[in-house]
Amino acid sequence: MILEIMVGLLVVGGVFLFFTGTLGLIRFPDFYCRMHATGKCDTLGALMALTGLAVYNGFNLVSLKIIFIAVFIFLANPTATNAIGRAALVNNVKPWMKESAESTSEAGPEEKGK
């Protein structure tokens, strides 16, 4: 009974993190914020969901394979996110800068284009 509750919490927690990462991908303003949200949430979400599946399956060869997959994802996702972010930086992808309310309201249409 306690094992099923623990497995359920791990899998639901992993799905929740996948959902929040997807929400961050949709809602955040620029490339770097989106990469941060998906990189963190996908790595931890996959780790939690796969750990829950391995615990549910018990100690056997299949659960060992699931743990190896989780470790690979834990190592590969942050590395890939860093490489993609660095490639964006090298290719001059500019980060989002919030404009202040004063600069947008005081500037006329001819000054906004400068």
Query: What would you report as the CA-atom Rg of the chain, rounded to the nearest whole angstrom?
Result: 21
pLDDT band at 10 (very low <50, low <70, confident <90, very high): very high
Segments making up each domain of the chain, as ranges? 2-96
Percentage of the chain exceeding pLDDT 90: 73
CB-based contacts of 114, cutoff 8 Å, min separation 6: none
C-alpha torsion sign, points 29, 35, 37, 38: positive
pTM of the model: 0.77
According to the model, what pLDDT value does residue 109 have?
56
Q: What is the rounded average pLDDT of the residues 60-78?
A: 95
User: How many Å apart are CA 104 and CA 107, to the nearest integer?
Assistant: 6
Average pLDDT over residues 61-65: 95
Residue 31 CA to its chain's centroid (Å):
12
User: How far is residue 21's CA from residue 28's CA, in Å, rounded to a whole number?
Assistant: 10
